[in-house]
Chain A
């Protein structure tokens, strides 16, 4: 019995599987791009390449609704949330990753538990907090709420990164008698830069994609973030769903994320796995 045909068949099957995986992963985005370039009745045909491509949907998005504001809102909320989270969690990660003290395990456990919280479990308490502090329908309220997602996540991931650095790193500085704060800023911050980029990027994506809080804590169209704006896009008459415009909005917010992810593939993978696999 010859093994060669079997091997060739195996190869072909393998590449067919690869092609299928790639097609499955990419097609929905491709279809969104194609649909966003179609208007009117063209949208209702299954043409794989639009016959008369037009940017009408993209223009309408910015002309008929505050989509530009929505993008800006998302960017502000995600950037501020990420900055606050990184600042607070790098200091916490130093304590959890480099100092052995009583209560370290318990604290790590609490942080891990919070990162597994269902958002809905804090929704009514957060609603009350935001209403009482007058932050309803404002970006400040969203920044406050989103911290529950990014803070435990970034602390957890940075602690994992921090724990992997060699012991010798702080020993020299400790002998020099440097105070702990300078140890963090002068010794750890520089070597943690790549980890901070990876963690910051993931935290940014978390906040950028957040939907439940943004849907619940904002009311006016101008204060909405991108996910809420896309979920609630409606047609002029309110009857017909403007799919072309929804797909245009989807492409606008997705394209930069895809480029970013492709450019920083390795760092993202390292950030994701640092947080989870180190069990």
Chain B
């Protein structure tokens, strides 16, 4: 019995080893180095020429107003865009789940934003939202909804709205697909019973459907939130390093590359890592997500 166990374990670990070694090289080691570098005054030119300065970088970080702005931007961006994406994704999923003609077209159309690279979608929207020549301003002016062109990507408040709008366009398909997958495993009889009883569809949704798909929906929300907390591409391409919209990732990279302050950038990156780790730990220990092995 014991030998069989040992044999199995040996086989399992030898199959896992190549992947785990690769993962340690590309993830474990760089993460460890980032954390260590955050306690040094390393510059970009030569990493080895650095001194241990303790928590100096972290002290600078918490006194930097731009950092806290980046934290607020990231949290606001995450909460608002994930909320909108969840609601919109659910609406789309419910539409696709209703077996009506035309749903194939809708599903295909919805997959398009998902397939488009983030950088490309940011550029497409950047052009549409251009203050002088953008089609969005042209249409709004034409309809008389605005009297002069809006600076969608320059105004501090509007630019954050724009960034969220683009993320919603790009992220909703993922939510829709995952919600749809959850809806499709629900037994049809539930709806039949409700229909026979003449229950209002909205009540059916709120009292029957929603509680049943809640676990799957929560998993999707967690995945999207973790994604949104590390946002970089959309914001960097749409508004660059502008502090009005910079996320924590944008801030960290600016310190690291543009200001060549590896220590400071690493401290910001480590801080973001800790926030995400904390969020993930809370979610996992709350028992919402079970790891596959524990099934």
Contact = CB atoms under 8 A, between A and B. Distances in A.
Given A209-B117, A265-B108, A279 B289 contact: yes
Given A29-B124, A250-B124, A105 B294 contact: yes
B32 interface: yes
Given A118-B269, A122-B30, A151 B22 contact: yes
B106 interface: yes
A124 B262 contact: yes
B272 A22 contact: no
Contacts of A123: 30, 34, 252-253, 256, 265, 269
Given A116-B276, A243-B130, A269 B177 contact: yes
Chain B contact-residue range equals 35 or more
Given A29-B116, A230-B120, A111 B8 contact: no
B121 interface: yes
Contacts of B47: 127-128, 131-132
A102 B266 CA distance: 35
A26 B117 contact: no
B116 A116 contact: no
B280 interface: yes
A101 interface: yes
A239 interface: no
B29 A125 contact: yes
Contacts, number: 302
A180 B290 CA distance: 28
B195 to A, nearest CB: 13
Contacts of A124: 30, 33-34, 37, 42, 256, 262, 265-266, 269
Interface string A202-222: 000100110110011000000
Contacts of B115: 205, 254, 257-258, 260-261
Contact of B12 (A89, A104, A132): A104
Contacts of B294: 105
Interface string A10-45: 000011011001101110110110010000000110
Contact of B95 (A18, A25, A227): A18
A277 B269 contact: no
Interface of A is mostly: helix
Contacts of B20: 92, 107
Nearest to A254: B116
B71 interface: no
A118 to B, nearest CB: 3
Interface in A225-250: 226-228, 230-231, 243, 246-247, 250
Nearest to A211: B233
A44 B22 CA distance: 50
B124 A32 contact: yes
B69 interface: no
Contact of A117 (B12, B13, B27, B109): B27
B289 A254 contact: no
Nearest to A154: B19
Contacts of B178: 272-273, 276-277
Say what secondary structure dominates the interface of chain B: helix
A108 interface: yes
A113 interface: yes
B77 interface: no
A46 interface: yes
A14 B107 CA distance: 15
B111 A268 contact: yes
B56 interface: no
A148 B26 contact: yes
Contacts of A111: 23
B105 A155 contact: no
B128 A231 contact: no
B95 A277 contact: no
A258 B113 CA distance: 9
Contacts of A127: 44, 47, 256, 262
B95 A21 contact: yes
Interface stretch (B60-68, B154-162, B186-194, B213-221): B213-221
Contact of B292 (A44, A122, A159, A226): A159
B106 A21 contact: yes
B111 A121 contact: no
Contacts of A258: 112, 115-116
A126 interface: yes
21 contacts: A14-B95, A18-B95, A21-B109, A91-B16, A103-B13, A105-B291, A120-B232, A120-B269, A122-B31, A125-B34, A125-B37, A148-B23, A151-B19, A243-B130, A243-B133, A261-B115, A269-B177, A276-B219, A277-B178, A279-B215, A279-B290
Report, nearest first, the 3 A-B pairs whose CB atoms are least far apart. A125-B30, A125-B33, A118-B230
Given A205-B115, A272-B177, 16 more contacts: A18-B102, A28-B121, A31-B128, A43-B133, A44-B133, A46-B135, A89-B19, A120-B253, A123-B265, A125-B33, A209-B119, A227-B118, A243-B133, A278-B295, A279-B289, A279-B290
